[in-house]
Structure 1
Amino acid sequence: MRSADHGSVAAKINALIEERWRSASKPPGNAAIAKAIRDETGLSISTGYLWMLRTGQRANPTGPRLQALAKFFGKPPAYFLDHEVTNEDMELAAALRARGVRMIALRSDGLSEKSQRAILEMVERAREIEKLDSGDGAEPA
């Protein structure tokens, strides 16, 4: 059911479904997913419409359907529409929603490269102390 175009709406929705139900042997069917979307968001999306999105027969969800998908999967609506948006972009956008992260980024603007590296080293050390990156293979930039 995966679309060959990894930036397509179908590919994004299918990847999000696989991620959300990764602990299950296989994700539930479209009817159960549509019901979960309705139950968790209070916004409606039909089983048929979800199927069309997942198979690529519909490629541009709009209005309440787009809002339902965005809310259910915790992504901004633009994620489903912008074919150039990467997971890295989405991770950055999610991180910047936190006020503290946003303030660090904004206050770092204009500092010398040396000062920015020093701040990054402090952040990396704090993450190490709090064991936030253990086992994920993350490398400091």
Structure 2
Amino acid sequence: MASVDPGSIAAKINALIDERWADEKPPGNAVIAKAIRDETGLSISTGYLWMLRTGQRGNPTGPRLQALARFFGKPPAYFLDDDVTNDDMELASALHSAGVRMIALRSNGLSERSQRAILDMIERAREIEQLDEERDKTPNDPSGRD
């Protein structure tokens, strides 16, 4: 791949491809474009993917943007907004779950004390289900409740 601006759509797509095929050499654009079509039902051509990856096109819109977002599990804003952080992307991804949305919406308006109690219950459930083994190795609790 040619050198591209690190914040560009080309760099983002290439990084996502490298991440998706981290344990092996990524396939060519034709295979990736077919995988996108097969997994999302949305069309993206090999040539268009090549143009995006090399920076010759930099503003996917409509179905192509949706196809990329669905395939890589990112919100469409990931490709368009340089200010979208990993935390923003994780939140957007989590909010695709109806259960997560319901918890967030129903906790809105509760006192800080009640919200902390709910967070404690969620943290305990995650511990029981061993969802945060890497986080447990982190010395500081990000909630500030060390």
TM-score, normalised on structure 1?
0.84
Partner of 2:97: 98
Q: CA deviation at 1:91?
A: 0.9
Residue identity in the other structure for 1:92? L
Cα deviation digits, residues 19-39 of structure 1 (max 9, x gap): 211121x21111221122223
Q: Quick one: distance in 2 between partners of 1:118 and 1:140?
A: 16
Residue identity in the other structure for 1:12? K
Aligned residues: 139
TM-score, normalised on structure 2?
0.82
Are 1:20 and 2:20 matched, yes or no? yes
Q: For 1:1-141, what aligned pairs fall within 5 Å after superposition? A: 1=1, 3-6=4-7, 8-24=8-24, 26-136=25-135, 137=137, 139-141=141-143
Q: Cα–Cα, structure 1 residues 98 and 28, in superposed 2: closer, same or farther, change >3 Å?
A: same
Q: Quick one: distance in 2 between partners of 1:108 and 1:60?
A: 37
Once superposed, what is the RMSD of the aligned Cα atoms? 2.0
Identity of aligned residues (%): 77
Which sections of structure 2, spanning at least 5 residues, go unmatched?
A: none
Q: Quick one: distance in 1 between partners of 2:101 and 2:70?
A: 22
Residue identity in the other structure for 1:5? P
Which sections of structure 1, spanning at least 5 residues, go unmatched?
A: none
